[in-house]
Chains A and B, each alone.
Chain A
Amino acid sequence: MSVQQLLPKGIWLLPLFLLFTFFQAKSQDQAGSILITGKITDESGNGVPGASILVKGTGKRTNAKDDGAFSIPVSTGNETLVVTSVGFAKKEIPLNGQTNLTISMTSEKSTLEDVVVIGYGTQKRRNVTGAQASFNASKLDERPVTRVDQALVGQMPGVAVKQTTGAVGKGFSVQVRGTGTITAGSEPLYVIDGFPLSTSSVNAAGNFANGNPLDNINPNDIEDIQVLKDAASAAIYGSRAANGVVLITTKRGKAGKPRINVNSYVGFNEANRKLDMLNGNEWIDRFTEMVNAKYVADYGSKGALASDDSTRRRQLLGLGSTGYNTTYMTDPRWEDPAHPGLRFINWQDEVFRKGLMQNHQVSASGGNEYVRYYVSGNMARQEGMVINTDYTSYSARANVEINASKKLKFGINITPTYSITNDPGVEGKDNILHQVLSMSPVQEDTMGLFPNTALNNQYKWSNSTNSPYAKLKYILGQTRRFRTITSVFGEYQIIPGLSFKTTVNLDNTDNDSKSYTPYIVTNSLTTRLASASALASGSFNSYRKQTFVNENTFNFNKTINNVHDISAVVGFTYNSDKLDAQEIKSNGGYRIDGVPTLNMAYGYTSTTTETRNVLLSYLGRVQYSYDGKYMLSASIRRDGSSRFGANSKWGYYPSASIGWRISEEDFLKSIPVINDLKLRASWGKAGNYQIPDYASIPQLAANNYSLNNAPAVGWVTGNLPNANLTWEKSSTYDAGLDVTVLNNHLSASFDIYTRKSSALLLNVPIPWTTGFPTQLTNIGQTRNKGWEIDITSRNIVKGPVQWTTSINLSRNTNKLLSLGEGQSQIIIPSAFSGAQHSILRVGEPLYSIFVIKQTGILTQDDINKKVATFGPETVGDPKYEDFTPDGVIDLNDRQIVGHPNPDYIYGITNTVRWNGFDLSVLVQGQHGGSIYSLLDRALGRTGQGTVDNALGFFRDRWRSPDDPGAGKVGKAFSTFGSTANTDWLYSSDYIRVRMITVGYDLNRVIKAKKVLSAARVYITAENFFGHDKYKGGLNPEANNTDLSGNNFFPEPGDYGGLPLPKSLILGVNFSF
């Protein structure tokens, strides 16, 4: 079926210029010149000041005035006008005799004459030969996003943006075309206005411990984002480009009258879902069942019956008349339907709330031929979905460019920002959310929401956790960050076409965080009473992170004979990263309660550390295009880093790409349906150096002992040195096709690629007989393969309704090709006993899930047939697959049952405009990955104890052979233990309506066009609808806990992550 058949008939028939046939004009057929007058407008009808109007084939040109009006003389009246303006598509208008016309410019980004930002320069989009994804940031200020990475979700093929946290103000994880590395970082390099920021990776727990490059970057200031995906476009960034490069351009001033923009929104956000846990009655039901079973198992020989009352049980247990043993006895009040004196609590309801969010931005921009400026100020505040969590940020920006002379240009970008985050530690294992979920839902009424807090004791049948509600109320956790990014540049034109540019950049972050836990939410009541002041604890951590970059480049651009387009760049850059960290922790409690600063601590321990690394680079690139038909680009970079071994500090990163615009060939020119068709192919090599500083040098580690009750200082080498340690390298082949057809109604890009990463920076397991479990070595290979498709379809362009659909879909699979010599697999260690569950196995995806498979529930028939069991399993316990058939279930029966990365990610955006209204809907999702939920270890393990609450599906557990439940959860009372199996395995597939925005152009009603060049009001809803299959947690992408317990195999996972925030905001947008 051809594409055309899929579309409503006739929609696309009219070419663009027909729009202007409304403006019938009388031709003034006088000899000599005819004056053409008119107005250049944007899509909303506002004038486009400074637009350039050229009479095609002549040198005649003019610029539009501030209101967009222009006039230009022509000779015949049948010429064609060429209108260009930055940010708009070039437009050619055949006059056909008209003398007065209004020309509406389209600000669609993906038009071929656009200039796109590439590494160390810009390029016409039509000449791009690498795989590069673009994100038009123009609508960023209409979404309740507080971070740039948040806005990228679902926007670009091959760019997986994972919202791994529901906490406010935290960084997202971004992966370009999958992950090729096992140990080293996998986040891309971010470059803001040409300034490569220090790379920073998530730690093993999934957090950006020393900051994310996008922290405090105000999304409202962003003009454009480009993601360099293949090595050919990214290799100019050499050793840091293996994970892709994200180029961010901020807004600049344009010549013309000052333009003032006001953006403001207010709304709320809340949890998009809650976790299905047992309610009070169901919890009691499970507790009672287990206690009775245990009582009968242990005291059955003495005549114990499940029906025994408390008195009888006390006799058997040898307790006094008021004694309780909660292992064998229940609370008598449970049996009373009114459960007097008890309170049933849904802890999630108590801690989740609607949080207010608001954002206010004012910017001014403008300029003349000497100075152009953009200045902005922004204030954003978001209250989290959990009580007492919030994020506030203040930021300002000044981008100024000065033309000192015709040849000399200077500029400065400066961005001071300040943010405050309040989070007492909600996400992650044993943190507040985990406790909210696992807290017993039945408590003493007298304690309210404060069991085991201050003077309240714990309810006897509850877990011993201090009230998570109280923790949220009383624990302080505040992070304050002051970050300033400053770039200064000077550019000098040596001869026309050749210029020299130097930039000096400094990114300085001062981050401090303080925490304070008062004694009232620690320990048990008796301990609190006995030693209150000793139980409070607090800390103060801070770091200063500085990245200094100096880049010097020569740029050459020349067009020869109108057909040979040549551009070249050579350069040298210096890059230094410095991190100074300090920590002070209280020791032995506080002298007085309630003062969080450490001057009140009894004692404290403190430490300071510093690290630094230097990167030197030489780079060069040549681009050539012949008549817009044949394109060629080649680049090389040489990088040297202080992180690597004495023998191997330097690496080369070459790349080459070619492009062929077939649509310019005569044989295709005659096919009108094809507007543009370009083939691309590229190859390149990029590197990864995201490992700690000094990893190649043997360093002493403190190994103190104690002698005669005093510390005995001990030092010994703490790592295995590797003087040959060097870059992890990846080489990527990419082939692509860009096509625009059907009168520019449908444009699509298709890419297929293979990225092979080799000499991985791998902590390869070695025998402990060396004194160490692993050595950081360059060994092993991985491969990422996939394809991406990006389609933009202007379904309806004419008439009152306009409708555009953008679809991006990508597939990526990774595979481990080799490990250390002779090694075929590494089983990833687990931070939690009994929970090893991932494997690196040659031929399989990275971090494949490797557990025993549950096949059902054991029946008496199974037992009679002696099916394999795990330890002393009995009827009603889970049945596992004897994968290595030897009659017993043990670790040898583990098999690969899934992999964490999705096979497919997709995003679909539909935009509809009608009569001043606009509607935009983003649907986004992923498919094919799995999640192994360690939160289930707390909420749903086999043999789980009585007190912790359990996941909702435990109500469908096995109760008896006649009441076998849903077949997943075995009987509540089991004593065979626990082994990592598929009961915690879930699909990570989801589909989500990420955003719905409805806007209206107020200028249609308020008629204030003289003052307001734009006025818009909008409502945006985020994350209101969606579906996923994750029953063991709240967010299938959540990462908050270090599952491997081992920095060498970073494996962040979910052990208590917040759901996504769903938000609804109302915003206005004014331009003067």
Chain B
Amino acid sequence: MKKIVGYSLIAIAGLLSACDKQLDQSPISGVATDKFYTQPADFIQGVNAVYSGLRTYPDRLLNLSETRSDNLYAVSDGGVRDWEGINSFYKTIAGNVYVTEAWSGNYSGIFKANSLLEQLSSKGAAIIADPVLRTQLEAETRFLRAYYYFDLVRWFGRVPIIDKTLLPQEALQVGRSAVNDVYSFIISDLKFAADNLPDAYSAAADKGRATKYAAKGTLALVYMTRSGPTYDINGPGLGVNEWNLALPLLQEIIDSKKFVFGTSYANIFSYTNENNPEVIFDVEYNTGSTPVTGATFPWLLVPDTWFQSQSKQTQGGLTIRPVSNDLLNSYEAGDTRKAFSIQSGFTNNNVTESRSFFKKYVDVSKTPSNRLDWPINFIALRFTDVLMMKAECILHGAPGSQTDVDGIVNQVRGRAGLTPITNVTLPRLMEERRKEFAAEGSRWHDLVRSGLIESTMTTWITKEDVGHFMQPFQKNYILYPIPQSELDVKPGLYDQNLGY
């Protein structure tokens, strides 16, 4: 028996040393990051992850630009809805989920970009033999990083510049940067992208990646946005008058002949005509994949009862966000865009909803079984926009003539079935943009850039909000508040925007 005990002791001692190694468990169903980035495909997949940060961009535009603007009159029907306060100018929206998402979604994208840029600089040269591919991957990543920062600066003004992955203790030292510095960072990334991205991608599978022209178009919009008035709020406008820097970039896009002004408005957004020649840059979606890579923005502004009236399953819109009477009335007779963009009322289960809503992105026959999985792409920059941006630059004094401006506007009006006009002014151009880009999320930014926001919003609220559900507009509301959760992380690290 003593022997048994002795053997047991030896056995235990042996067991102990064997067991110690068992404390190093690595994931069975996952991959530790340090085992990745071993072949070029890993880096391509890393860039894809940076693109994936765009997936919430269209919804954000609809929630923060379209809903806040005079295009929608989406005051409460009595329920608790996430956009409450966005549309009616409550001061207390620092905790709003959409506002928080605008911050977190973009910084998440920036982290992904920085993370990949670091992997590219430390391992890229050794693993990716093709220098062209390596540069292209860096250019795509920097384009996206600039895209995220540009989105941030338009919503929040001054934001922290993060150009590498940070540990929490490092991030706690980085405060908000001046708007001008943020722009410098954006412009440097976009210039690199414009210089190094391809004109187009030869492989069909790469359709949807950013091209040189996406970078140039975005850079042009950055210059134009910087040139807008400052309103003295540390917002996106710096009043710098760089319209003449934007114009040549837009002209390059036009002169490239790679893009075509679409002949049919509806066709631009057709489910069967994605990646058409009008598209310069879009956010891409497809349906039926796992994990889901489909879209939610198509139904975001559409009430669920309308889907019911079309015999479709529940979508996410739940309650209606009605189109404002102001926008409805502003369409000229015969404007074909109105019927395409807007559904005016419907009856479901013998109950009539008389208000209108945007259904621009919905093709009922394409309703997916999963409401989060719509297949349609969101066009973030299209050729018509480039043309109208050109007209805007000219109206602000960049080289060109009134004839050029009128020509562009009339080209757009013609497609919509409207008669030509002359002597187009800036307010008139913005009014034309409002209808051309309705539900595309550009209205708020257009008003801010053109300097028209204060007068437009104040007039509109007085006219439309007869029930006084809205608070008066203030210019401080051009910017959104810094999310409360970010302020709470370390009091004093960030200051709150004025007016909140």
Contact = CB atoms under 8 A, between A and B. Distances in A.
Contact of A706 (B85, B111, B286, B354): B286
B34 interface: yes
Contacts of A773: 104, 485
Nearest to B307: A527
Contact of A766 (B82, B172, B349, B351): B172
A716 B22 contact: no
B28 A527 contact: no
Contacts of A610: 28-29
Interface stretch (B200-208, B214-222, B388-396, B403-411): B200-208
Interface centre among A576, A704, A773, A941 (most CB of B within 10 A): A704
A466 to B, nearest CB: 11
Interface in B320-364: 347-354
Contacts, number: 325
Given A325-B354, A714-B51, A977-B84, A609 B29 contact: yes
B308 interface: yes
A827 B49 CA distance: 30
B467 A706 contact: no
Contacts of A915: none
Interface stretch (A818-826, A1012-1020, A1061-1069): A818-826
A534 interface: yes
B107 A769 contact: yes
A891 B23 contact: no
Contacts of A697: 26-27, 32
A1008 interface: no
A46 interface: no
A703 B205 contact: no
A326 B82 CA distance: 24
A4 B92 CA distance: 63
Interface string A537-569: 000000000000000100000000000000000
Contact of A531 (B88, B111, B313): B313
A612 B26 CA distance: 9
A535 to B, nearest CB: 7
Given A527-B313, A694-B30, A702-B291, A709 B286 contact: yes
A944 interface: yes
A765 interface: yes
A35 interface: no
A587 B108 contact: no
Interface residues of B, number: 120
Contacts of A78: none
B421 interface: no
Interface in A935-961: 937, 941, 943-945
B442 interface: no
A693 interface: yes
Interface in A328-374: none
B1 A407 contact: yes
B32 A771 contact: no
Interface in B69-104: 75-82, 84-85, 88, 90-92, 94-95, 97, 103-104
B486 A767 contact: yes
B92 A705 contact: no
Contacts of A937: 80
Given A492-B5, A612-B28, A705-B48, A588 B33 contact: no
A467 to B, nearest CB: 16
Contact of B108 (A458, A765, A771, A974): A771
A506 interface: no
Given A697-B26, A712-B293, A720-B168, 9 more contacts: A323-B352, A527-B313, A616-B22, A708-B205, A715-B48, A716-B115, A766-B489, A767-B493, A770-B166
Contacts of A698: 32-34
B30 A699 contact: yes
B491 interface: yes
B10 to A, nearest CB: 13
Contacts of B34: 698
Given A705-B284, A717-B33, A317 B23 contact: no
Contacts of A612: 25, 28
Interface residues of A, number: 119
Contacts of A43: none
Interface in A519-540: 522-527, 529-531, 534-535
B286 A710 contact: yes
A767 B489 contact: yes
B111 A325 contact: no
Nearest to A613: B25
Nearest to B169: A821
Contact of B354 (A317, A766, A771): A317
Contacts of B308: 464, 523-524, 526-527
Contacts of A502: 8
Contact of A978 (B80, B94, B110): B80
B160 to A, nearest CB: 5
Given A527-B308, A704-B289, A822 B352 contact: no
A772 B111 contact: yes
Contact of A975 (B46, B76, B111): B76
A407 B1 CA distance: 10
A322 B349 CA distance: 12
A822 B77 contact: no
A767 B100 CA distance: 12
